[in-house]
Each structure stands twice: as structure tokens, then as C-alpha cells.
Chains A and B, each alone.
Chain A
């Protein structure tokens, strides 16, 4: 990742014909050779943002800059950007070679050069020897690789990926994640990746852009987003969370679940109502008599590495990840370290 800004979105808004605003006030700078992920639930505007960068949609308001030049209105075929589409969008009438060669052949490149570049690209995505296969003879994972090769062979400055791994099974998805990261590092180009899978976003990205309802909620490194979510929505979307209503008495002291706790946050108004977010793995199970919160174990589910335990404490269902199992129906105590209590401003009601 370099310092210079490659793509810049300024006050982008998109309004559909029916008046529905799908994007509002999007401001974002993307650096050269960066791996940026747009993360959010479906309908949050992440794909629309990607389409604006690709040239398939025009913003109603705002400007988009590429390498310092304004590119509003520049059609897709004149942008030095290529896309890997959600459902691959391979050309069914062409074989693997011709699919990958499409962009170069449109540019009227020399046939021998095309053959060499396609061969190299198929090697990069581990599809050597598949040149003459029909598209419908390929598995989903192989089609995915062809789509990636077809985009990358044009040596774009930016590769857009619209939920490219959504249709693959878990094992294949993991492999392709590693593969994509390797390709991005070795070709040194900017990847802009769209997904609704938080784990994928955290694994692959240099920076994550969390979106909701056409707005950017938070931009940051995966560590930032996970450890310091700006609000309860981000916290909940990035991994499972316990979100409880709380009151901030004063700096470093918060009340929730009927108890006062020490915490590390400050800067709230006295007695401000806040969201308290606690990760399920941060809850320490202890004796009910000595712990500040106590409740009855409702269910225990084995998840492989940990047990997922639900505890009912005066009506609120706590989610706990613990390596130790508990008896269903047992009365247990819960505690949290000050550092693991995340205080968030209440989201404005829109």
C-alpha cells in the first residue's frame, strides 16, 4: 500500500428515479496498491458504490476522481479498471482462452502476445491446460478463476470484486481468499472488494469500510473495526456481541445490568444513555455469589473451538463463548474486565 491516493469519492449521492436515496454523502480515499473492502448488509449501497467506481452507475451528486482526474461520465470501457462480477458473467459462447483473451483482443493486441499473456495469467490462477474448455464444463471455483484471470490480464490499476466468493463452499472460499491476497500482493494493484461476510473482510483487507443505509459508518483497519467499533451496529455486524443499554455516570464509570462497572471510556455527558458492547469471548464465567451479574444457563451449543452458552439474566440473554461447558439450568456468575467494556454513543434515530 502506497501513500498516493488513486481513487477519491467526494460527497457521492445516488438517488433512484423513485426518489429512493441509495447513497448519501459518501467520502472515501483509496490508496494505490491498497486492499479495501466495502462491508455491510444487503441493500446498504456497497455494490452501488462499486458500480460508480466501475462506471456502470452515475452519481446523482458528487465527484469521483481517478489518479487526480475527474471521471464522472467516463464509460466503463474507457476506465483503467476491471471487474470480477458477482456471478462471474463469463461469455458462454467462448472457451476459457477466448474469455481471458477478450479484453486484449478488443484492444487489437498482437495474437502471439495475447497467447503469451493469457498463458501467464492462467498459470497465475492455476488453470494451465484449461484453454480449450467450455465455460459450462468448469466448476464454480474454476469459473471464478477464469473471471479473475479475464479481468487481471488487462493489467488494470484497480480490480473491483463484487462478492466474488459468495457462490463457493466454505473450504473453497478460504482457499480463494488466500489466493486473492497472494495475487494482490504479487501484482501490486488496488483491490476494491465487496462482501457482506465480516470474517472475509477482516481476513483480507488493509482497510474495511462499513456501510449501512447508503452511508459509511466506519473506515479503519480490521483491528480498528473489531476492537473499536464506532457504534453498536458496527459492533454487532463485526462478529457477535452483547449489546446492553447503559448509563455513563461519569468518565470511566458505567452502569448496566443493574451494576456499576469501571471502564476505560470517557468523554460522555454525565448520565448519558449509551450502548454497552461486550464480545461473547470477553465474558468471564465465575461463581454466582461473587460475580456482579448472575443468570441461569439456557442453552449450550458445541461449536468446535468453544461452547456457545446463552444465559438469562433478568430477561437479557447473554451470549458467552467459553472453552468450558456449563450445565443447562445452572446458576452462574459473569464478570467483564474494564478494558473489554466498549461504550458507544446511541445511534441517532433516523
Chain B
């Protein structure tokens, strides 16, 4: 009996000891994630004098149309990313060794360059007298207005965030063994049926994490819309930005909008998570 009690104490102590490597991150999470989150909630629910109010939340409602535009553009950009990245990731995942590594590196290459620089580059390409339009005029065509449109913003989002779609898709697809694909072919499935019946269901977790990693930064971006969308295509990120760095300095309102945005994103993600389980018939874990 005595022994077993001692063992119990020991195992409890060992349990705590076993989690020790997680302490630095836990401290980090508390100081830089939990506390700031609490502060945002606090600011959102107080006025400038520090007394409780839901005014800010109500006023955040005034920016509903901007919020919807942000969700719409981010959703389009995310969908485009899936459509473009999916076949690419599949092709890369079926390659071996050097070719595979080179292709992965080429996909990641743009990320090594500064985000602002890349977006500036697009400005010079899309401008009214930018690269494309000058080429068009040279060939005798009418110039097209591309900069300061929603299309330009979507392009910026797709260009900047598509690596975050390719990577998780590629990672999960490279875990799908060639033998499973060959088994499907062996059982009579043509290429399309192999994708629909085997690759797609097995890569759904990759799609869902890719969507999260593209949609969340897209919906809250303010640099892309500012540089490629002009003043007319403001996103919710721009509105938040204004509350902290603009003339309309109002951190309480800014926090409230952030809070609303966060709730909306969480709602979007949970809806998506549910449909995912349904399409898979709840069989994959």
C-alpha cells in the first residue's frame, strides 16, 4: 500500500515534469495572446473614460457593409487559391526527390521576399500606365483599369497567401501513398474517379487548414486593400487601422470591430468545420 501511494505521488510529480517543456510556450501564450485578448475585450466594452458600455459594439455595426465586403473578397480569394493550389499540390506530391524539392521551393520562393515589396511590384504592373497597360497600348489596345478595383485586391490576396494553401495541401497529399492510388486504378477508377473517390476525401483536412490559413489573413488584411484597392475598396482591416493610426483615433471602437471580426471568423470556420465532417461521412478522424 505504502509503495503504491509513493508511486502515485511520484507519477503526479513526473506528470508535471513531463509537461515542463511546454512551459515557455505557455508563458508566451499567456503574456502575448491571452492578456492582449483580454485587453481587446476590455477596450471593446469600455468608453474612453473606462466605464462599461456596449456603444462600441453597436457602432461597429455601422461598418457592416465593409465587413461583408471583406468576407466576400477573402472568400473569393480563398476559393481561387483552392482551385489553383489543389492540382499544383497534387502534381508536386506525386514527384520524387530533387524535382519535388525544387517545385516546393519555387512555390515558397516569393515568401522569402518582403510582403510590401511584392505588393508594390503588383502596383507598378497593374497601374493605369503600368506594365500591362503600356504593353496593351503598344499593341494598339485600349488600356484597362485594373488598379484600385476589387479584382486587384483579390489578386493581391491570392498572390500573397497562395503558398499557405499549397503547403498544407502538399503535406497531406504527400502522405497519400502511391499504392492507394494504384489500388483505385486497379479497381477500375479512371484518373477523375481516383481524384474524386480517393485523393479528395483523403486531402480534406489539408483543404480545411489551407482555407483557414488563407481566409483569416485575407479577411483582416489592410495593406493589400490600401495599395491595390485605393480608397474605394476599404476592408475591415483598414477601418481598424484607422481607429489606431488614423485621424479618427478611437482604440475602443477599433477593439470592438476586431472583436466582431474575430467572432465572425470563428463562426465561418465552425460552419466550414461542420460541413467537412458531413462530406466525409464522419469516417476520417
Judged by DSSP, the binding face of B is helix
Contact (Cβ within 8 A) A82 B185: no
For the complex, count residues of B whose C-beta is within 8 A of A.
20
Is the CB of B188 closer than 8 A to any CB of chain A?
Answer: yes
Chain A nearest CB, measured from B283 CB (Å): 6
Contact (Cβ within 8 A) B283 A86: no
Contact (Cβ within 8 A) A134 B180: no
Contact of B193 (CB < 8 Å), options: A54, A86, A106:
A106
Is the CB of A43 closer than 8 A to any CB of chain B?
Answer: no
8 A Cβ contacts from B161-206 to A? 177, 179-180, 182-190, 193, 197-198, 201-202
Q: Once bound together, how far apart are the Cα atoms of A102 and B202, in whole Å?
A: 15
Across the interface, which residues of B come within 8 angstroms of A86, CB to CB? 179
Contact (Cβ within 8 A) A93 B187: no
Nearest CB in chain A to that of B201: its residue: A93
Nearest CB in chain A to that of B180: its residue: A89
Contact of B188 (CB < 8 Å), options: A54, A89, A95, A103:
A103
Contact (Cβ within 8 A) B179 A89: yes
Across the interface, which residues of A come within 8 angstroms of B198, CB to CB? 91, 93
Contact (Cβ within 8 A) B189 A89: no
Known: A89-B177, A95-B283, A102-B197. A75 touches B182 (CB 8 A): no
Across the interface, which residues of B come within 8 angstroms of A91, CB to CB? 180, 183-184, 198
Nearest CB in chain B to that of A136: its residue: B285
Contact (Cβ within 8 A) B185 A77: yes
Is the CB of B280 closer than 8 A to any CB of chain A?
Answer: yes
Known: A89-B177, A93-B202, A93-B284. A107 touches B186 (CB 8 A): no
Is the CB of A302 closer than 8 A to any CB of chain B?
Answer: no
Q: Once bound together, how far apart are the Cα atoms of A82 and B182, in whole Å?
A: 11
Contact (Cβ within 8 A) B280 A76: no
8 A Cβ contacts from A250-278 to B? none
Contact (Cβ within 8 A) B185 A76: yes
Contact (Cβ within 8 A) A77 B189: yes
Is the CB of A71 closer than 8 A to any CB of chain B?
Answer: no
Most buried by B among A75, A86, A94: A94
Chain A nearest CB, measured from B208 CB (Å): 14
Chain A nearest CB, measured from B97 CB (Å): 12
Chain B nearest CB, measured from A154 CB (Å): 7
Nearest CB in chain B to that of A75: its residue: B185
Nearest CB in chain A to that of B177: its residue: A89
Q: Once bound together, how far apart are the Cα atoms of A150 and B177, in whole Å?
A: 18
Across the interface, which residues of B come within 8 angstroms of A82, CB to CB? 186-187
Contact (Cβ within 8 A) A103 B177: no
Nearest CB in chain A to that of B198: its residue: A91
Q: Once bound together, how far apart are the Cα atoms of A85 and B182, in whole Å?
A: 9
> Which 5 residue pairs are nearest across A and B when measured between Cβ atoms?
A103-B187, A89-B179, A89-B183, A76-B185, A106-B188
Chain A residues packing against B (C-beta within 8 Å): 54-56, 75-77, 81-83, 85-87, 89-95, 102-103, 106-107, 134, 150-151, 154
